[in-house]
Structure 1
Amino acid sequence: MLTGEGGNIGVSAGEDGVFLIDDQFAPLTEKIRTAVSAISNQPIRFLLNTHWHPDHTGGNENLGRAGVVIVAHDNVRKRMSVAQLLETFNMEIPASPPAALPVITFNDRATFHLNGGEIQAFHLETAHTDGDSIIYFEDVDVIHTGDIYFNGIYPFIDVSSGGSIEGMIAAVNRVLGMTDAQTKIIPGHGPLSNRAELVAYQAMLVLVRDRVKIAIANGISMEDFIASKPTADIDSSWGKGFLSPEQFLQIVYTDLSR
């Protein structure tokens, strides 16, 4: 696992070459190459994007031009091919250049037979986005979750890209069903994790969802609900990330109100 300014990077290295999961931002490509070269003298052969967001795909063009085969879910290529609006931040992301686009896409799952083992990618519907994948290294019992899991902080759910709180919970439940106490879990953001921490994260998502659903059912407006500080009892544990508690509540309320 490599960390930096963007999402966490997964690395599988062996005699068949290097398999990379996500690539942060374009200016970091050389630093990533240097870090990978300290692990293996083999070339980077494959790059798998867990979803389309620029902090996970920003290095695609650099690596694509270098001959790396880029792989992702069908919806990742579709979204990267045209301009996207991140509604939560009112931020428009321009379409990616052709060299940055995945050249191999899949619908439900894909399996890579590399470095003496299997690397399995599974699509998760309407979770962080509509194009999320988790990647399971079965031989070493490691899962890279992408951004369905922000370890220790409230997550960003990109509702404008098809994400949803219900999908996030379902996705986390799927990962929990694949893990045990020994499984190493690479989150999209935050430190290396384990099943116990993911269980706590899942419980937080369910708690927030349920509180928002009750407020909506009782006709409480989003403004009044957020002003009541409904997550004050858990903000010290989860509210220290790049999203404030208010921003996270707004995302969940907007999603469940649709």
Structure 2
Amino acid sequence: MGFRLSVVLFFLLSGIASISQTDTGKETYTKMLKVQNNIYVLQSDGGNIGLSFGKDGIFMVDDFFSGNVEQMQKEIKKISDKPVRFVVNTHFHNDHSGGNPILAKEGATIFSHELVRERLMKVMNEGAKKLSEDLLPMVTFEEKINFYFNNEKIVVFHVPNAHTDGDVMVYFTQSNVLQTGDVFVNGQYPFIDLKNGGSVKGYEAGIQKALALINQQTKIIPGHGPISTYKELENNLRLLSVTYKKVTQQVLLGKTEDEVANMKELTDTYNESGYKPGYVTADDFIRTLYKDASSGSSEKKERLKENEDARKKYEQIKRQQESKKKKKN
């Protein structure tokens, strides 16, 4: 059975929101919205799922927590009875890959960057709870993979060391829709997962790569938050860059993490743009930037040393000048 015309027409006018309970009794919220052409987004407390509907079946980007899958499937069937044939995980976090086992058992092929599979294998091996091997993507790639599906070229490309080390973005070329995963969350503080390969430099580079690919008319599905635009993505990059530079300056001045985290003015640019805490609070965000700015590389350590030496020299010259003035007086 193909598209249900009456449902599609209704979606053109407004989104449909549903509230239901999972088998654990936890209430879950979902809302289906048309993005452009045959591309939809299903929004949930587990983030955003991108969907391409058409004659070839259903192409899905991310798949929520496992507990959200039943409601997700109900919402999808309101539009099409065709099967989910392909799923792309934008990264390994559970809110974007938790539905893998259920969808794989129902016949979908799961794709991801190769590092996503590696991290999911680690989750399986180290977790106290035994997880199905169907959690693991069946097909992985290094840099890019193209799909030709539902009369559309779909480009999936790696953005290294951004939100995590295995992030990918998905670009529906004919529909001009980009799905970013958590390399962009709209209206919330960014989550840069330093423990799993994320970095500020990579996060910025990932957004720059996206901006170079798309145009002012592109519709953007963020990892979390409302459907977005080129300008909002561009502004997100500016906010991150400005704030990171401010934090880095404080690191170079020798400030401690707690001292910098208590500088509430560092997030003023985000607050003025209407950003709110999501998974990440303002305090978490600044501490992440601090850790990134002060971490590891010998280059950063050398810069810190050079800055400290320069500061000491400046203070010495200042004292000498003040001493000379006192003698003249």
- TM-score, length basis structure 2: 0.74
Q: Whole-Å Cα distance in 2 between the matches of residues 29 and 201 of structure 1? A: 30
Q: Whole-Å Cα distance in 1 between the matches of residues 214 and 266 of structure 2? A: 28
What are the superposed Cα offsets for residues 219-238 of structure 1, whole Å, 9 maximum, x if unpaired? 11111111122424234222
Opposite residue 204 of structure 1, the aligned amino acid is L
Q: Tell me, yes or no, if structure 1 residue 37 matches structure 2 residue 77.
A: yes
Q: Whole-Å Cα distance in 2 between the matches of residues 63 and 40 of structure 1? A: 16
- Deviates further, 178-187 or 33-42: 33-42
What are the superposed Cα offsets for residues 15-55 of structure 1, whole Å, 9 maximum, x if unpaired? 11100000111111111111111222211001100000000
Q: Tell me, yes or no, if structure 1 residue 121 matches structure 2 residue 156.
A: yes
Q: Any idea what SS the aligned residue of 2:42 has?
A: coil
The answer to whether the 8 Å contact 2:247/2:266 transfers is no
Q: Which is bigger in relative contact order (C-alpha 8 A, separation at least 6)?
A: 1
Q: Tell me, yes or no, if structure 1 residue 146 matches structure 2 residue 198.
A: no
2:200 corresponding residue in structure 1: 165
Out of 82, 99, 108, which is 2:122 matched to?
Answer: 82
The answer to whether the 8 Å contact 1:120/1:135 transfers is yes
Q: Greater helix percent: which structure?
A: 2
1:257 corresponding residue in structure 2: 294
The answer to whether the 8 Å contact 1:187/1:193 transfers is yes
Structure 1 residue runs of 4 or more that deviate by more than 3 Å after TM superposition: 92-96
The answer to whether the 8 Å contact 1:80/1:96 transfers is no
Q: Whole-Å Cα distance in 2 between the matches of residues 66 and 169 of structure 1? A: 37
1:87 corresponding residue in structure 2: none
Q: Whole-Å Cα distance in 1 between the matches of residues 128 and 222 of structure 2? A: 24
Q: Tell me, yes or no, if structure 1 residue 131 matches structure 2 residue 186.
A: no
Q: Whole-Å Cα distance in 2 between the matches of residues 94 and 54 of structure 1? A: 14
Q: Whole-Å Cα distance in 1 between the matches of residues 130 and 205 of structure 2? A: 30
Opposite residue 282 of structure 2, the aligned amino acid is P
The answer to whether the 8 Å contact 2:243/2:267 transfers is no
Superposition CA RMSD, Å: 1.5
1:174 corresponding residue in structure 2: 209
Q: Whole-Å Cα distance in 2 between the matches of residues 82 and 240 of structure 1? A: 29
Opposite residue 101 of structure 1, the aligned amino acid is L
2:43 corresponding residue in structure 1: 3
The answer to whether the 8 Å contact 1:8/1:189 transfers is yes
Shift of 1:95: 7.5
- TM-score, length basis structure 1: 0.93
2:37 corresponding residue in structure 1: none
2:103 corresponding residue in structure 1: 63
Q: Whole-Å Cα distance in 2 between the matches of residues 78 and 24 of structure 1? A: 19
Q: Tell me, yes or no, if structure 1 residue 227 matches structure 2 residue 227.
A: no
The answer to whether the 8 Å contact 1:82/1:94 transfers is no
Shift of 1:241: 2.3
The answer to whether the 8 Å contact 1:6/1:25 transfers is yes
Task: Give the total of aligned pairs.
Answer: 251
Opposite residue 135 of structure 1, the aligned amino acid is V
2:63 corresponding residue in structure 1: 23
Q: Whole-Å Cα distance in 2 between the matches of residues 35 and 124 of structure 1? A: 30
Q: Any idea what SS the aligned residue of 1:2 has?
A: strand
Q: Tell me, yes or no, if structure 1 residue 212 matches structure 2 residue 247.
A: yes
Q: Whole-Å Cα distance in 2 between the matches of residues 107 and 144 of structure 1? A: 18
Q: Sort the Cα spacing of 1:47 and 1:29 in 2 relative to 1 into closer, same or farther, 3 A.
A: same
Structure of greater Rg = 2
1:89 corresponding residue in structure 2: none
Structure 2: state its 5+ residue gaps. 1-40, 296-329
Opposite residue 104 of structure 1, the aligned amino acid is V
Q: Any idea what SS the aligned residue of 1:148 has?
A: coil
